[in-house]
């Protein structure tokens, strides 16, 4: 099974070149035909409905199913009506599982309305832990916008509001025998780490002008996403 992981397209009325960054990635993915695409948030930069409509129009040209979760730049109330056919929600949150593939996938909503940092409220944490505790022999992957581990390359390494909530989540990660990996965005750079023995990583942003870290000249301008093989 092959999954294309997109993140941080930051579609912006002020920065129309980012439409092309997303469009070129969609064109490449359509040529390589993975089984599905997951976008881990910051779909838009300012959460204008027009930005969501532009992102949606490009993503709808994918030839394979795609799924999205929000990032801190997104607003659920604006995102949901535009992407409603592509989403299932848990209460007010855009947090759900994909059960119809060879690999199970848990998509977490880590957005806070109070800050740009990640949040795991009681409801979302309980849902995530319940999924992680389900007995199912298939491998499980988790996708989330914010990184639930310290990213030491940036000035403020911890990207959540509440470390205790993250520790509850990572403890549940540790108890889940079928969990294989955690995939994130948000930090606009490629990062690899581990939580215990579990591989955790973040990918850089699709928006070329917002990429951070050491990049080759080619990597500053080419479509950036990754193909995960499971």
**Which positions touch Fe ion (CB under 5 A)?**
42, 71-72, 186
* Strand segments (E) across the chain: 2-6, 36-39, 66-68, 96-98, 104-107, 140-143, 179-184, 191-195, 198-202, 226-229
Considering beta carbons, is residue 25 or 74 the nearer one to Fe ion?
Answer: 74
At a CB cut-off of 8 Å and minimum separation 6, what does 179 contact? 132, 139, 140, 141, 142, 173, 198
DSSP of 17-44: HHHHHHHHHHHHHHHH--SEEEE-S--B
Query: C-beta of 119: minimal distance to Fe ion in Å?
Result: 12
Considering beta carbons, is residue 5 or 104 the nearer one to Fe ion?
Answer: 5
Considering beta carbons, is residue 34 or 71 the nearer one to Fe ion?
Answer: 71
Q: In the complex, which residue's CB is closest to Fe ion?
A: 186
Query: C-beta of 111: minimal distance to Fe ion in Å?
Result: 9
Query: C-beta of 145: minimal distance to Fe ion in Å?
Result: 6
Considering beta carbons, is residue 71 or 148 the nearer one to Fe ion?
Answer: 71
Query: C-beta of 112: minimal distance to Fe ion in Å?
Result: 11
């Amino acid at each position: 099974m092959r999954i294309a992981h997109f993140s941080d397209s930051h579609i912006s009325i002020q920065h129309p070149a980012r439409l092309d960054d997303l469009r070129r990635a969609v064109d490449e993915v359509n040529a390589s035909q993975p089984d599905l695409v997951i976008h881990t948030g910051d779909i838009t930069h300012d959460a204008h409905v027009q930005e969501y409509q532009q992102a949606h129009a490009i993503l709808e040209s994918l030839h394979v199913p795609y799924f999205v979760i929000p990032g801190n730049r997104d607003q659920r109330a604006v995102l949901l009506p535009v992407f409603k056919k592509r989403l299932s929600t848990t209460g007010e949150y855009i947090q759900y599982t994909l059960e119809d593939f060879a690999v199970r996938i848990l998509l977490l909503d880590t957005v806070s309305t109070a800050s740009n940092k990640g949040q795991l409220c009681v409801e979302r944490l309980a849902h995530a832990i319940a999924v992680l505790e389900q007995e199912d022999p298939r491998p499980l992957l988790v996708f989330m916008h914010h990184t639930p581990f310290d990213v030491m390359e940036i000035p403020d390494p911890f990207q959540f509001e509440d470390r205790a909530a993250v520790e509850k989540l990572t403890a549940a990660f540790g108890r889940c025998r079928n969990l294989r990996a955690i995939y994130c965005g948000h930090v606009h750079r490629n990062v690899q780490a581990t939580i215990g023995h579990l591989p955790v990583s973040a990918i850089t942003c699709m928006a070329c002008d917002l990429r951070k870290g050491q990049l080759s000249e080619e990597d500053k301008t080419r479509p950036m996403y990754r193909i995960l093989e499971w």
